[in-house]
Amino acid sequence: MQVERHQNLEFSPFYGEFPVPRSGWTGVIDRFIGPGATPAELGLQLLPAIAAAIIAPLYALTLPHAWTTLQLGIIAFLGLDCVGGILTNATITAKRWYHRPSQGWQQHFGFVSFHIVHIFVVAMLFRGNDWGFFFLVSSYLLVAAIAILRSPLYLQRPIALGLYGLALLGDFYWLSPTSGLEWFLPFLMLKLLVSHLLPETPPSSESDR
């Protein structure tokens, strides 16, 4: 698929014309959340994420743990990243940017793979160097991402939701909870498997099957 340029617009077969990223520091933001985000989208992405960054460490402080400043800072960051990521990747602006023609399964898999760092940090700093947790969760995330990305477009949504459901069951009934971060795995899996990987537009013809 080819991307056509029309002055400050790009063209996608799924989403039609959309803006190209601006220059300067605003262009950095555009490449992160997608160019052309509306004020409503920006508000939905920013305000709940900031609230999560405040509420998550406050919740952790209610638990009988001697948290370090580093741990509380990481909890705040993970709350910001997970909640902001779920909402940002769900916007049509982010969908048309991250699912533009130049973004194939390799780019999406790379985006998911980067978040193994999040799992590593939680396993090491919040679960006492729990390598079993790290390898189990990371492996599931990568295998689930491959299953979604290599599936026909019209099956990706039900497969993603099914795999997300399995992740919730595993988190609730197999893994021991991460105290203070019980929300981490459900939010991370939602952000990556459902919010990021799924395109907004359903298949429009039999050729998409």
Q: Taking the chain (209 residues) in consecutive chunks of 10 residues, what is each chunk's mean pLDDT?
A: 46 64 85 91 96 98 96 98 97 91 91 98 97 98 98 95 97 94 98 94 55
Residue 31 within any structural domain of the chain: no
How many Cβ atoms from other residues are within 10 Å of residue 29's Cβ? 15
Q: How far apart are CA 192 and CA 90, in angstroms?
A: 10
Provide the domain count of the chain: 1
pLDDT of residue 146: 98
pLDDT for res 12 = 59
User: What is the pLDDT, as a whole number, of residue 7?
Assistant: 45
pLDDT at residue number 181: 98
How far is the C-alpha of 132 from the C-alpha of 183, rounded, in Å?
19
Asked whether residue 7 is assigned to any structural domain, the reply reads no
Where in the sequence is the domain holding 139, given as residue range(s)?
40-208
Token pair recorded at residue 97: 């940017």
Q: Is residue 27 in a domain?
A: no
| Interatomic CA distance for residues 85 and 194, integer angstroms | 11
The DSSP 8-state label assigned to residue 152 in this structure reads: -
Is residue 188 in a domain?
A: yes
Q: Where are the alpha helices (DSSP H) in 34-99?
A: 39-61, 69-90, 92-98
For residue 197, tell me if it sits in a domain.
yes
Q: Is residue 10 part of a domain?
A: no
pLDDT at 77: 98
